[in-house]
Structures are given as structure tokens and as C-alpha cells.
Structure 1
Amino acid sequence: MFNCSKCGFHGCSSRNLEKSLDECPSKNEKVQSKAMELYKNEENLMIANNAALVEAEGYCKQTRLEETINFMKKCGYKKIGMAFCVGLQKEARDVQNILEYHGFQVSSVLCKNGAYPKSDIGISQDQTIRNCKDEVMCNPIGQALLLNEEHTDFNIILGLCVGHDTLAIKYMDAPVTVFAVKDRVTGHNPLAAVYLSQGYYHDKLY
């Protein structure tokens, strides 16, 4: 088992592996060798290289949206797919407008595409949000397949529910980034619960 989150040495960051846990993943030569071999893949190398450049150029200066735009431009992506939640329609529209201003062609697909009732996936009326037998399910697989049909170069996920994002990513052909995640309780800032885990949210999380 790896426990990087509990390591206080961070020997990997200083390239001093003598200061690291016994089970440090940096010491797994088989896996590390395989990973470095995969970086030789043309697409992987391009993505890794441009990600490093964006990190250096925008570090503590650019927002996530600015960095995403910069990254996509460096990679030469033109056709961008956006899978978003109906609850963030306004945000999705604003993001699409901004991306189009920067010259990207954007294809955006709503989570409720297909208009299938939740009963189609075995959800009963009393298990729905509004106790409605015809409540429409989210269709992240449909979002992914529709963006695949569009032959997008790169996809952005905006506000999909836990698990729905999992399925969307699983079935997308193009590389993916997550711009924002849904957390209605914290204003879509899930780390707020972590920051307050020893205070307000302690009894809810422990």
C-alpha cells in the first residue's frame, strides 16, 4: 500500500529518495520504468510537455480557466467538447462563449440528453429526487458517445455528479480535463468540507 498523502519527507520532490517512506512509489523501478516509456508516446509527450509549460507560465498567476485555454492552444486542439450538468447551464454557456471568443469550436452536451426516465436504470419513484416516476436520468454515457460522434480533440467536464463523471470519462475517446465539479452544499467547492473537517463538518465526516 502506498501512503504518499501521509509522507512528510517528499524525497521525490527533491530527488533525494533516501528521505522517503519504505513503500515510496518512486522506488518501484518496474512501474516507473513503464511510466517513463509511455511518455515516449507522441501524444503523451505532447500533453506532458505542454502541461509543464502551462504550469510554469501560470503558476499562481492564472486561473484554472486561463490555464485550460492556454493548454488547449499549446496542444493545437481546435474542436472542444463540453459535458455539463443542467444545474450549471449558465456557467456552461459562459464558458462556451469564452472558449469561442478564443477561437475554439465548442460542442456542448447536457446531462439530460435522451430524456430517459430513471426507471430505465432501475430507479423507483421513491428513490428519485422529487418523488417523480418520470424524473429524467442523467446520461453521461450519451454525453460521451455524442462528443465522440463530433470527433472532438479535447473534452471538458463541467459540474457532472459523482459517478456520472466516472461514466463520461470512461467512454470518451478524446483526452479529458475536469474544469469544475458539483457540490451544491459548498458552492461547488468540495475542498471546503476538507478545510472544515476538524470543525463544522467534523461530525459529518468522522
Structure 2
Amino acid sequence: MDHEHEIKNCASHEASCSDCGLLNCYRQESRFPDFCPGESAEKEMIDGVIARYSGDEGDAHAARAAAEVEGLYYGKLTRVEEVLAFARRIGARKIGLATCVGLIDETRLFSKILRVNGFEPYAVLCKIGSVDKAVIGIEEELKLRPESFEALCNPLLQAKMLNDWKSELNVVIGLCVGHDALFCRHSDALVTTLIVKDRVLAHNPAAALYTSGSYYRRIMEKEQNL
């Protein structure tokens, strides 16, 4: 039984791109599966999205800049260098850094790199405002150090500060899961990520996927109580 038939036989499963074993959208060297979301999308929807890539500004400018960086430097540049290359191509000089307090050393190094390369960095720490977690209803036992002052992460204020500074590209450096999502929602400028926080795996979250059949087998257990 092939992969597509397996998906069809699973009545409770709504198939998506992660279920596709053909990936024909990439090179068009095979065929599209019957459940292909791209093939089932309404033409008006696709045309409307493609129209956003037309012109010389906004989404179109950023999309072409990203494709150019990929085409020129695929497998040649580090993520740090790719951020610089992308920023140059979209004409961004003012680079906002939304950083975790736990990665402030990395942020300082990246700030130096930005300055050396002609950019103007401005960092806003996650604990900006220094407001205790209790203010938003976090119970003491949920603090890392109960019965003591513990500042909440404040992604909305980080975004507001960088919006007021009029950053032209924002870079996330190790914000917590959820805090990064809130920051991206409220950022006026485009957002890219330099470091994804994973305290257990030295900020390499993909390692949990690569070891899901061995060291991290527990992640495959059903309905974990997380």
C-alpha cells in the first residue's frame, strides 16, 4: 500500500502537505496526489496571492530578495550572513533585535557584526518594563523562583518599542515559544529568526526530530501530558 492510499484509508485524518510522498510542486517531475491542497485551492485564491508578488515594493520586494539570497548563497552562507544579505536587498538599515535575556551575549555579538557591516542595530530585551509575572495572573508556583520578583516576558512591549524606533527588519533571538508568536503578530516590520530557543538541546530544536526514534522516543508517545 503506497503512502497516498494509507492517507485515504485514515478517515479521521485530513491530509496535508506533510502527508505527501511525491512533492511534485517542487520540480513537477511526478504528479500531484489527489489530496494536494495546492491543486484544490480556488484559482482566485492562488491568483490573489501571486498578485502580491507583483511590483517593486512590499511583499514582492521581500520575496524576490529572499529568492535571490537562496539562489546565490544556498549552502554557502551561515544564517547570520543570510540575514545580512537579505537586509541589504530589502534596503533595511535599522535592524531591531527582539532578544531573550538568556541570549544577551549572542545579541551583543550579533550587534557588533551588524555595525561592522554598516547596519544600525537596536536591541530590546524580553524583560523590558520589568513587570512581575503576578501582574498578569501567573501563580507563584509557576514562577522559576516562587515568592520572589520575576519579570514577565513582554513581547508586545518589545514590538511597540521597535515599531516606535521604526525598525526596517526585526530579528528574533531566542524568544520563548509563544512570546515569539506574539512579537511577530505585533511587529510592523518584517520578522526573521536568528536563534530558536531550545534550552535542552543547545538551541537546536531539530535534534528532537532527528532523535525521535531513539533518545527522544518519548515524543512519539500519544497524548503526552504537557
TM-score range, shorter chain: over 0.9
Over the aligned positions, Cα root-mean-square deviation in angstroms equals: 1.3
- The correspondence for 2:137, drawn from 122, 125, 133, is 122
Q: Give the structure 2 partner of residue 40 of structure 1.
A: 54
Matched to 1:33, the amino acid is D
Map of 1:15-26 to 2, 5 A cutoff?
15=28, 19-26=31-38
Q: Give the structure 1 partner of residue 68 of structure 2.
A: 53
Structure 1 moving runs of 4+ over 3 Å: none
The Cα shift of 1:133 comes to: 4.0
Q: Distance in 2 between matches of 1:82 and 1:21?
A: 41
Tell me which structure has the larger Cα radius of gyration. 2
Q: Give the structure 2 partner of residue 14 of structure 1.
A: 27
Map of 1:65-80 to 2, 5 A cutoff?
65-80=80-95
Maintained 8 Å contact 1:83/1:109:
yes
- What fraction of aligned residue pairs are identical, expressed as a percent? 40
Maintained 8 Å contact 1:161/1:182:
yes
Unaligned runs of 5+ in 1: none
Unaligned runs of 5+ in 2: 1-13, 222-226
Maintained 8 Å contact 1:111/1:138:
yes
The Cα shift of 1:2 comes to: 4.6
Q: Distance in 1 between matches of 2:141 and 2:220?
A: 26
The Cα shift of 1:25 comes to: 2.3
Matched to 1:8, the amino acid is G
Map of 1:1-206 to 2, 5 A cutoff?
1-15=14-28, 19-27=31-39, 28=41, 29-40=43-54, 42-206=57-221
Q: SS where residue 166 of structure 1 aligns?
A: helix
Maintained 8 Å contact 1:84/1:157:
yes
The Cα shift of 1:195 comes to: 0.3
Q: Distance in 1 between matches of 2:95 and 2:102?
A: 21
- TM-score normalised according to structure 2 size: 0.87
